[in-house]
């Protein structure tokens, strides 16, 4: 394991490392804080020689690109950590996956070239399942976004009525009548000051179509899934 001692670590300079991973399935219910704890332990177990903060409570410093809300899945999460020595990226990913679960899967590791603050947007795929969805529901959704959609948005200073449409860069909807599924593809603002939680889009879909129900949770009844698929820069190019 970590053969290198604390003192030796201070002498050398740590270098940045970026790790891409996915957080899906039941892991969507794990909060960001809990994810940080699990991630720290997985990184320690992988044998990665990390830089530790100094002071009373030394800990490795993990920086996440864009924390996920509980209930949102993702296939494009990014995490930065500072490490020592030469890293065998493939070996690291293999070891991380050996001690993790398939729902928290590591994809690749590399030296980051861009800063997280360049992230401006995130792409989401929102799937709503309901027997009550009818032909035309996709049009109803896209039509709704042509005029302001006022929601009560939670901010530090309390709840504010806010129009969410300016935060939506693009949105398209498609209905699969056979599967009773409405699929909405959307790119939402994700910069630190203008982050839009994709749950508001679900709220808007509900206004347009009546689904998914927020009262009846009968197993097998209405349901929805939010999947983050990409992070984008201000030009709409994929951020890595």
List residues near another protein by CB under 8 A: 1-2, 5-6, 25-31, 33-35, 37-38, 40-45, 52, 56-59, 70-71, 99-101, 103, 212, 217-225
Closest CB to another protein among 132 and 172? 132
- In whole angstroms, the minimum distance from the beta carbon of 86 to another protein comes to 21
Question: Of 21, 231, 223, 230, which is closest to residue 109 (Cα–Cα)?
Answer: 21
- In whole angstroms, the minimum distance from the beta carbon of 195 to another protein comes to 20
**Backbone phi, psi, residue 68, to 5°:** -90, 145
CA-atom Rg of the chain in angstroms: 21
Closest CB to another protein among 106 and 224? 224
Closest CB to another protein among 27 and 173? 27
> Which token pair is 98?
């050996």
- In whole angstroms, the minimum distance from the beta carbon of 201 to another protein comes to 15
Helix pair angle (89-98, 32-45), 10° resolution:
120
CB 62 within 8 A of CB 51: no
- In whole angstroms, the minimum distance from the beta carbon of 169 to another protein comes to 25
- In whole angstroms, the minimum distance from the beta carbon of 118 to another protein comes to 30
Closest CB to another protein among 26 and 152? 26
CA angle 173–179–184, rounded 5-degree value: 15
Closest CB to another protein among 13 and 218? 218
Give the containing element (helix H, strand E) for 182. strand 181-189
């Amino acid at each position: 394991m970590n053969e290198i001692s604390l003192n030796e670590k201070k002498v050398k300079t740590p270098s940045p490392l970026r790790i891409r991973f996915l957080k899906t399935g039941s892991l969507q219910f794990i909060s960001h804080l809990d994810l940080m704890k699990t991630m720290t332990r997985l990184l320690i177990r992988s044998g990665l020689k990390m830089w530790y903060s100094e002071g009373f409570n030394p800990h490795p410093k993990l920086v996440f690109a864009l924390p996920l809300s509980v209930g949102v899945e993702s296939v494009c999460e990014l995490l930065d950590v500072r490490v020592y020595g030469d890293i065998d990226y493939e070996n690291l990913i293999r070891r991380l996956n050996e001690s993790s679960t398939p729902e928290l899967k590591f994809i690749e590791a590399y030296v980051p070239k861009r800063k997280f603050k360049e992230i401006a947007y995130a792409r989401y795929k929102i799937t709503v399942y309901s027997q009550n969805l009818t032909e035309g529901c996709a049009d109803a959704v896209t039509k709704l976004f042509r005029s302001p959609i006022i929601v009560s948005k939670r901010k530090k200073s309390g709840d504010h009525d806010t129009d969410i449409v300016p935060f939506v860069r693009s949105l398209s909807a498609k209905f699969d009548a056979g599967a009773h599924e409405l699929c909405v593809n959307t790119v939402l603002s994700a910069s630190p000051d203008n982050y839009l939680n994709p749950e508001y889009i679900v709220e808007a879909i509900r206004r347009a179509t009546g689904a998914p129900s927020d009262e009846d949770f009968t197993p097998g009844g209405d349901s929805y899934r939010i999947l983050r698929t990409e992070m984008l820069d201000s030009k709409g190019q994929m951020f890595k």
